[in-house]
Amino acid sequence: MESADDTDLALLTASAGLLTDVRNMLPGLLFKTKHGETKVHRVVKVGELYRLIGRLEPFQEDSQLLDTALTHILPPLVRAYIASLTSKPIPTLPASCVPLRYAVSQILNTLCKVRGEKVITYFLSNEPRYLEPLLSAFEKGAEHDVLGSATPQEWAVRYVLLLWLGHLMLTPFDLATISEYVPESREWDNFTPPSDLPGIPLRILPLAFAGLRTATKESNAAARLLARLCLRPDMRKLGLLDAVVTWALASLAPSETEVTDIHAYLGLLTFLSALVSAGTGDEVGSYYERIFAATQTVLEAPSFGPIRASAVARKLLVKTHRAIAIHTLTLDPSSPLIEEVIAHLLSSLADTDSPVRLSASKSLATLTQALPPAFASDVIDALHSAFDDDVLDGDTSAVSPLRWHGLTLTLSHLLYRRAIPPTHLPPSLDVLLRALTFAQRSPTGAAVGSNVRDAANFGIWSISRRYTTAELEPIPASTLSTPSPHSLPQTLALNLLTTATLDPSGNIRRGASAALQELTGRHPACIAAGIPLVQTIDFHAVGLRARAVTGLAPAAARLHAMYFDALADALLGWRGVRAGDAPAREVAAQALGAMAAAREAHVLHEIVGKVRKELEALREHEVEDRHGLLLALAALVQRAVDALASPATDTIVPRTRADLKPLLSIWDLLTTLPLPEAAFKSPPMRPDLTAVAVPSLITSLTALSTALSTPQAFTPSLQRAAQLLAYCFPRAAAQPVLGSAMVGVAALLPSMHRNALADTYMNTSPSDRASMGTGLPTVLGAIYPLLWPSMRTKIITTLESFPTTPMAVQVATLHALGDILVAIAGKHDLPTEDDIAAEGGNVAEDEDANLERAALALLRGLNDYTLTARGDEGSLARAAALASVQRAWEAQLSLPATIRAAVARLAHERLDRVRVAAAKCLCFGIPVKNDDGTAAEEHCFPGPPQEIDMQAVSAEKYFFSALFVLERPASMLYRRSVLQGLVSSAGLGGEGVRAAARAALVHRLDRLNPKTSQPLPSADRPAERALSLGETAGLLLDVLKESMGDERLEPPILDVWAFVLDMGCLDRLGDEFAWETVLTLVSKTHWRSGNVRKVMLALDCYRGLGRVKRIRAEVLRRVGGLATGGVGAVRGPAAEVLWVLTGDESLKKVDWAASRAVLKGALEGKVWT
């Protein structure tokens, strides 16, 4: 499909701001004001230059948006460039700066790239007085290039100067009168200039010749400059045109070996093309035969093979032949050269490169328009007949899409020029409508042919614009290859409508929308509901495919029955439910269902009949088509069920039970369609597609049977449905629809069969259970509320027995537990009283026990930190458990306090996406109740759930508000969990998260009182008062105790303890705090450990603990032990800690790489005493 954003609309919205930025940035970039006088800058900062260019480049998507601002952008650039020609040279170029001329050239080059050279050069000054300064500037730059200067002139500067010089060649004054300076004589490479050439052309020629050999856009600009110079009347009088043409043709002479300097030959061909295109017959007519002979040599000579391989060269040859042929027509209409050119152009229509085909099609159309009527008719007939080559019974799979593109584009250009008389329109219309639906698949499966449809849009747009209603209406649409009962304009509108809404390519949809608008505007009386149709199929609205298919197509179908018929037929074709990609088939199926919902019941039945007929005609391997058609059938049935007894609206026609009963026959498809088990398992059969489509259809059919209250026994159709759903169990793609499908089937079954079916699933062997993948837990969770109490208990037992690997199964199990909790909360119907009586027992007690077990299983998921080679796979389980907990809380189900505490921990952990999910989940949590029934407020998030995002949960404000639980009523369990999560972020989070969490912790600890005399309640009861600093430190100590022996938990808590000690947050604690316990636990974390990181973190803790007098001696002893007996990587940092704690300068002189005995002696009397 496509991205969710329409780039065209985004650019249209942003264009005003971008242009305002450019206009505001430009004066400061170019000019400076000093002492009231405005001067140009000599240098420009690179960053500012590319910021401005970055605001211009987006306009490549729609360059005409620039037009309103060009009069404000280009004149200052031109003035600044001209002023810079007389500015002083720059002695030293500052860092990160470029010369002004380079900056202006880069901006002008960007504008040429975005808007085109012809538009931009219009704004360049054409005053002859600037010719000499610009030429001098160019020569100075070329001199630097030759001498190998440290700052050589960039190609963009030369390109802009060549464009400007070419523009100045249009000056009406003789060049000899502009400058009397004549350069020194020089040797020319195979070129002999006329003897009396003035100085200006003598200076331009070497620059132009050099530019022709380049591989950049300089070559085009140099060719245009050279052509304009040679075509000037004063230069032709002096013989320059003859000299340059003779030189160019001599350079194109064939050689015995293959040419190597390709760009030099491309420059020559560019010059010849520019010359014959710009010159008149009187000016260059005498050279036509020689130039044509030279180009034919390029096309035929073996030595020019590398040149012919270049698409640029082939395009230049096409343009040159076109210009020569058109000029020759005025001189000698019977010349054989014209037929040779036409043959070359016809063969170029199938060129492998699009630029060549585009040039050939336009050239052939232009030439055909200039031909005599009889000759032009022959060319048009040849084009029409070419469309039938390799076509068998309307099948275009064997044709060349490249050739069809060239032919269609040529025909469109002819129609745009009105070169085809109205009496010859029917064949052209027929091939255009065929081209409008042209599509092929490449050997790799990629779609090809969009350029053919694009050219067809242009052709129909041209017909709409160039031919009158009186000329189009008499043409019978019944004579087309696909006959239509409507008028020709209406037939064109129907085809454009289906293309504008359903075509896979956004450019094609927009092109069809534009053509439809032109057709309706030029022939309004011929189009039914024309104005509403054009308003619906808006140019910008069709940009997103999903919106065009599911929104605009149904809206257009409601305007007239003929539009519905055309769109319905198209949706059943390759642009709809038979599309090449699965998302496109899905949206097409939804669109077909929406369209049918707005029509009468008999229309619905007709479409269902068509879909069934096409389904039954499919072969087994046509998996994609079956996927789309099954989804279409599911959408049709579901929309019909949704419309049962609904009020009438613009989009829904109410249905009755009698309208829906014929649809029950669709159940038979489940037994008649070829759906073997291999269709759900064999990779070549693309099982994911079938595993999505079949459950979708079953879901719709069960909803239909339920809506009609149709009694069902364990019929073959239901048995087959259960079997097909069992095939879908291993397919992950089927999980979103598998549960609802199984619930629908189970609800239709008698209670005995329903429970027996569930029991069969639960009694599978471990190996069979593994082969069922994620489907089994999904189904068990979905059908839980429909089963007897004993079976529900067995489901809980079964889910508890599932392995934790693979992770996908565990995730599915956690989601299934969420379904069960929602069912327990009363969101689904429980079994009937008869079922309960048959089972016996206390249902309420069973449900309480099931709730407790399900919550315990979810708690295991919330605490899953499995690490594999792929990373933190446990985060998938935590996210799934959070989703299930949130659903339970949204269903107003009260869960144990341990669940809430675990969610609170995850709401502050280091992993960003888990933290976001947990923060949202926590907002739905049911508050813990005090003994008096009042809510014990625990968590305070600064904003509603919809405002929770990555940025919000990574800010200091978020962590600071979370630590408010230290000062408000909350259980000790909840408070400890919040601290555990915050320790994870403060110790292991990203740089920004770590800084935010640590800052919040410091600020919150600074607010706490050092001590309090009130006792604390038990861990699971809310505390009525704020914690003291000592009690908070005790919680941190508890976190440290719980992390002992866990390689994942120990580093972050050590890091946080080191941080709070270094920041002096605990300095206010008295001697009664358990400092010895802290020291002991820190020591245990690195006792006999080879983990250097933990030892380093412990040293950081020792650095802070050494300030506590009561344990200072013990801290120094342990740090000394690490300095003398630790590994080499630890001794140095341990010595640094010793020096920080003692301030003994003699420690700096100790060789810490010495033996333990030497170091022990060196520290004697300093540490051990």
Q: Pick the closest to residue 32 from 108, 89, 95, 87 (CA basis).
A: 87
Residue 872 burial by Cβ neighbours in a 10 Å radius (0-12, 13-18, 19+): middle
What is the structure's pLDDT at 4? 43
Q: How far apart are alpha carbons 483 and 1030 in whole angstroms? A: 90
Residue 872 forms beta bridges with which residues? 867
Using an 8 Å Cβ cutoff, are 121 and 163 in contact?
yes
Between 636 and 88, residue with greater pLDDT = 636
Q: How far apart are alpha carbons 223 and 231 in whole angstroms? A: 12
What is the structure's pLDDT at 189? 72
Segment 1148-1162, tens digit of pLDDT: 777 777 777 777 777
Asked whether residue 1024 carries a pLDDT value surpassing 50, the answer given is yes
State the pLDDT confidence band at 813, using cuts at 50, 70 and 90: very high
State the pLDDT confidence band at 147, using cuts at 50, 70 and 90: very low
Q: With H, G, I as helix, E, B as strand and everything else as coil, classify residue 247.
A: helix
Q: Pick the closest to residue 1064 from 1105, 1116, 1117 (CA basis).
A: 1105
Segment 822-862, tens digit of pLDDT: 999 984 545 554 455 555 555 667 788 999 999 999 999 99
Question: Residue 806: is the preceding peptide bond cis (ω within 30°)?
Answer: yes
State the pLDDT confidence band at 769, using cuts at 50, 70 and 90: confident
pTM of the model: 0.83
Using an 8 Å Cβ cutoff, are 380 and 368 in contact?
yes
Q: How far apart are alpha carbons 878 and 13 in whole angstroms? A: 41
Between 219 and 709, residue with greater pLDDT = 219
Asked whether residue 441 carries a pLDDT value surpassing 70, the answer given is yes
State the pLDDT confidence band at 938, using cuts at 50, 70 and 90: low
Segment 50-106, tens digit of pLDDT: 999 999 998 988 888 898 899 999 999 999 999 988 887 777 788 888 889 999 999
Segment 68-81, tens digit of pLDDT: 899 999 999 999 99
CB atoms within 10 A of CB 967: 15
The token duo for 1090 is 């080879």
The token duo for 1130 is 């630890």
The token duo for 952 is 């919000």
Asked whether residue 908 carries a pLDDT value surpassing 90, the answer given is yes
What is the structure's pLDDT at 187? 64
Residue 38 forms beta bridges with which residues? 33
Between 189 and 334, residue with greater pLDDT = 334
Using an 8 Å Cβ cutoff, are 195 and 239 in contact?
no
CB atoms within 10 A of CB 558: 18
